[in-house]
Amino acid sequence: MAETMSEEDPTVPIVCTECGTETRVPLPDVEDALSRHNDGKHDGEEIAEVDPVLKDRLADLVAADLGLLEEPSEN
Ligand SMILES: [Zn+2]
């Protein structure tokens, strides 16, 4: 759990409680992998999801990636 990140694309764990599987996919493929799994295995139900622990971090990553965090938020 304390692995250091390499310079490769960050991978995101996708967990499916119903299948009991955990798959790591590159960040850009997450949406695709999720919909493919849920479409193929669960009739489109959103059962597989990004590891909840990472979800918050992921939101930050994506936001940072999109430049949404460039404004300093001083309150
Ligand atoms: Zn599944």
C-alpha 68 to ligand 1 mean position (Å): 32
Q: Which residues pair with 44 in a beta bridge?
A: none
Q: How far apart are CA 30 and CA 57, in angstroms?
A: 14
C-alpha 53 to ligand 1 mean position (Å): 18
Would you state the torsion angle of the CA atoms of residues 37, 40, 43, 48, taken in this order, to the nearest 10 degrees? -10
C-alpha 41 to ligand 1 mean position (Å): 6
Please state the domain extents for the chain.
11-65
Q: How far apart are CA 26 and CA 8, in angstroms?
A: 9
Q: What is the pLDDT of residue 59?
A: 75
| 18-46 pLDDT, tens digit each | 999 999 999 889 999 999 999 999 999 99
Q: What is the pLDDT of residue 7?
A: 63
